């Protein structure tokens, strides 16, 4: 089991620790509901240093990224990031990721912790023909997500950059909390705004401490992975391993918006055919009409009790105080407003397909 | 960790309070802490007579769902309906307002098979 550079800090704070993607990670500190509420209305900090980071560099960097990823990285200028995924060769997804253009010929790929080795091997396989420089810097870098509507105001004293000027999915390489160069990125997985800070492991404790000092007047709190999941699910953001995986179609998952057929990439021909023929299933969002909590793996059933799909993510929404979830259903039954049922143990609980996000910030 | 000495316990992290032939059942302080914020307690076995270790309900936390196992054979004569509106009582007061059901025991000798507070403390390493 690996630790992040902050593991002992979390334990000292009384966090409940769980193994996650090979790391010992904080799942909650004060309780998931209060942590969720803190991010929705104030500001909270996540240690998500388990995430993986690859640097792709050199004159061939863009060519490699264009080949292995679905979004169009040629649109990135220095200081911009984009959400993307790595398609596999059989219609599914190797991983989803964020691509940052750090310099003209330097890109940072941020991937899921559980997939670091798999992604590295996958990209390397395609790099044998391309020949870009690749570096896996995951073990040396930390990532803090400072999220919530008060993040900008609470963190402004820590940097010379005007944080309010960094637009969504843009970033600056700048000073922060006494460290000369970190990446301050206006990204996140909560829907409530804020930043992600990439720094070296040796720097993260100082940054963590200063972030809490600066945020004290704003009621800043540490936030665990449990609230990270409820926050992302209220937005309808996909979680790799739940909503998307090696066997799910990115088009069925609603990732068509980051699938750019203006270029050739891994499996793009087949994905284009799939798009033209129309997808069989769709990932939909639903709210329960009655009490209950949908969970990953529960059946989605029609009114005759026939299974028509499976729940991929589900939880009790702390903001809405009702059961919410996502799952795949046949495309012809995926329209917003469609009534479905979620099989929760012996009961088929009625639910309604809704538009995302579940919760409007 | 709060483990009241006068209660009995199970390996499934339930507590049992015996009064005559009635047993009141809830989950322990340790269990509520492990589950995290509890959002739903479902008991659909009211008035049913079940055997020891059968599932009498479920407790849903934000992250997980757990079955509730009957610690003693008998009829489920009462469900704490206050939990329908305030499931968080299980977190804040697991041995008081967070109680879950009352059982009319069918075999009082089964009480001897429950754990003492000392044994339970040893089980969870408290």
pLDDT in tens, A307-322: 999 999 999 999 999 9
Q: Inform me whether the pLDDT recorded for B126 exceeds 80.
A: no
- Report chain A residues whose CB lies below 8 A from the CB of B42: 292
Give the pLDDT confidence score for residue B64 in this predicted structure: 86
CA distances from A77 to A54, A61, A72, A101, A330 (A): 18, 14, 12, 6, 39
Output the CA angle A240-A34-A226, nearest 5 degrees.
20
Instruction: Please give the average per-residue pLDDT across A198-208, as a whole number.
Output: 98
Say which CATH number the domain at B41 has: 2.40.50.100
- Report chain A residues whose CB lies below 8 A from the CB of B63: 27, 32, 226, 229, 315
Give the pLDDT confidence score for residue B1 in this predicted structure: 85
Closest-CA distance of chain B to residue A133, Å:
41
- Report chain B residues whose CB lies below 8 A from the CB of A224: none
Confidence of residue B62 (pLDDT cuts 50, 70, 90): confident
Give the pLDDT confidence score for residue A346 in this predicted structure: 87
| Minimal-distance CA residue of chain B relative to A293 | B60
Q: Which of A28, A291, A295 sits opposite B36 (nearest CB)?
A: A28
| Minimal-distance CA residue of chain B relative to A16 | B34
**What is the spatial distance between Cα B11 and Cα B123, in angstroms, rounded to a whole number?**
8
Instruction: Please give the average per-residue pLDDT across A249-266, as a whole number.
Output: 98
Give the pLDDT confidence score for residue A51 in this predicted structure: 98
Picking from A25, A290, A293 by the largest number of B CB atoms within 10 A of its own CB, the best residue to mutate is: A293
Segment among A348-357, B8-17, B58-67 with least mean pLDDT: B58-67
Residue B94 lies in a domain: yes
Q: Sheet holding A141-147: strands in order across? A: A171-176, A179-185, A194-200, A141-147, A44-47, A221-222
Instruction: Please give the average per-residue pLDDT across A77-96, as a whole number.
Output: 98
Decide if A360 touches B, using CB distance below 8 A. Answer: no
Residue B92 lies in a domain: yes
Contacts of residue B20, defined as CB under 8 A and 6 or more positions apart, other chains included, come to none
* Beta-carbon count within 10 A of A134 CB: 18
Output the CA angle A343-A349-A353, nearest 5 degrees.
95
Segment among A172-181, A324-333, B58-67, B105-114 with least mean pLDDT: B58-67
Share of chain B above pLDDT 70, in %: 100
Decide if A322 touches B, using CB distance below 8 A. Answer: no
What DSSP designation does B20 have?
A: T
Decide if A229 touches B, using CB distance below 8 A. Answer: yes
At residue B48, φ and ψ (nearest 5 deg) are: -90, 150
Total number of domains constituting chain B: 1
Question: Residue B39 and residue A31: Cβ atoms within 8 Å?
Answer: no
Residue B20 lies in a domain: yes
Instruction: Please give the average per-residue pLDDT across A285-295, as a whole number.
Output: 95
Residue B49 lies in a domain: yes
Instruction: Please give the average per-residue pLDDT across A98-107, as a whole number.
Output: 98
What are A66's strand-pairing partners?
A: none
Q: Inform me whether the pLDDT recorded for A228 exceeds 80.
A: yes
| Minimal-distance CA residue of chain A relative to B67 | A345
ipTM of the complex: 0.74
Contacts of residue A125, defined as CB under 8 A and 6 or more positions apart, other chains included, come to none
Give the pLDDT confidence score for residue A361 in this predicted structure: 85
Residue B53 lies in a domain: yes
Q: DSSP 3-state assignment of A290?
A: coil
- Report chain A residues whose CB lies below 8 A from the CB of B60: 293, 316
Q: Inform me whether the pLDDT recorded for B63 exceeds 90.
A: no
Tokens for A206, please give them: 């100082």
Give the pLDDT confidence score for residue A152 in this predicted structure: 98
For residues A54 and A206, the answer to whether their CB atoms sit within 8 Å is: no
Instruction: Please give the average per-residue pLDDT across A108-124, as a whole number.
Output: 98
What is the Cα Rg of chain A in Å? Answer: 21
**What is the spatial distance between Cα A28 and Cα A15, in angstroms, rounded to a whole number?**
6
Q: In the predicted model, what is the mean pLDDT of chain A?
A: 97
The pairing of strands A44-47 and A221-222 is: parallel
Share of chain A above pLDDT 70, in %: 100
Residue set of the binding site of A for substrate: 196
Give the pLDDT confidence score for residue A215 in this predicted structure: 98
Instruction: Please give the average per-residue pLDDT across B65-88, as a whole number.
Output: 96
Residue B117 lies in a domain: no
Q: Which of B39, B44, B65 sits opposite A295 (nearest CB)?
A: B65
Decide if A339 touches B, using CB distance below 8 A. Answer: no
Q: Which of B39, B44, B91 sits opposite A293 (nearest CB)?
A: B39
Residue B17 lies in a domain: yes
Residue B28: domain span: 8-107
- Quote the pTM value: 0.91
Residue B98 lies in a domain: yes
């Amino acid at each position: 089991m690996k630790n992040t550079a902050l593991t002992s800090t979390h334990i000292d704070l009384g966090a409940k620790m769980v193994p996650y993607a090979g790391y010992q990670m904080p799942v909650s500190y004060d309780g998931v509901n209060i942590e969720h509420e803190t991010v929705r209305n104030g500001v909270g900090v996540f240690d998500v240093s388990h995430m993986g980071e690859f640097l792709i560099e050199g004159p061939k960097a863009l060519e490699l990224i264009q080949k292995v990823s679905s979004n169009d990285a040629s649109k990135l200028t220095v200081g911009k990031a984009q959400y993307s995924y790595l398609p596999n060769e059989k219609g599914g997804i190797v991983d989803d990721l964020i691509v940052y253009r750090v310099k003209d010929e330097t890109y940072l790929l941020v991937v899921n912790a559980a997939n670091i080795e798999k992604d590295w091997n996958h990209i390397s396989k395609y790099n044998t023909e391309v020949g870009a420089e690749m570096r896996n810097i995951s073990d040396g870098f930390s990532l803090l997500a400072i999220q919530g509507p008060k993040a900008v105001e609470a963190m402004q004293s820590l940097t010379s950059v005007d944080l309010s000027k960094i637009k969504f999915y843009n970033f600056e390489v700048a000073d922060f909390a006494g460290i000369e160069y970190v990446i301050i990125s206006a990204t996140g997985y909560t829907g409530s705004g804020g930043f992600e800070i990439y720094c070296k492991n040796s720097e993260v404790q100082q940054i963590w401490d200063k972030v809490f000092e600066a945020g004290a007047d704003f009621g800043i709190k540490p936030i665990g992975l449990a609230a990270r999941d409820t926050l992302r699910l209220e937005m309808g953001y996909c979680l790799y391993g739940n909503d998307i995986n090696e066997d799910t179609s990115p088009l069925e998952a609603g990732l068509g918006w980051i699938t750019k057929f203006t270029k050739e990439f891994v499996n793009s021909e087949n994905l284009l055919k799939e798009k033209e023929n129309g997808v069989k299933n769709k990932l939909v969002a639903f709210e329960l009409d009655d009490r209950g909590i949908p969970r990953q793996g529960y059946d989605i059933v029609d009114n005759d009790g026939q299974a028509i799909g499976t729940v991929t993510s589900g939880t009790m929404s702390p903001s809405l105080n009702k059961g919410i979830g996502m799952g795949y259903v046949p495309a012809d039954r995926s329209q917003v407003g469609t009534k479905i049922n979620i099989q929760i143990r012996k009961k088929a609980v009625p639910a309604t397909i809704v538009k995302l996000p579940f919760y409007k910030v | 960790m709060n483990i009241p000495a006068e209660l009995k316990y199970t390996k499934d992290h339930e507590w049992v309070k015996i009064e005559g032939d009635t047993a009141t059942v809830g989950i322990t302080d340790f269990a509520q802490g492990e589950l995290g914020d509890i959002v739903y307690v479902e008991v659909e076995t009211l008035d049913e007579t079940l055997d020891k270790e059968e599932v009498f309900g479920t407790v849903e936390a934000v992250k997980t769902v757990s079955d509730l196992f009957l610690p003693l054979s008998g009829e489920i004569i009462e469900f704490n309906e206050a939990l329908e509106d305030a499931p968080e009582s299980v977190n804040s007061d697991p041995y008081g307002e967070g109680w879950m059901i009352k059982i009319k025991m069918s075999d009082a000798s089964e009480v001897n098979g429950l754990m003492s507070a000392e044994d339970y403390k040893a089980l969870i390493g408290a």
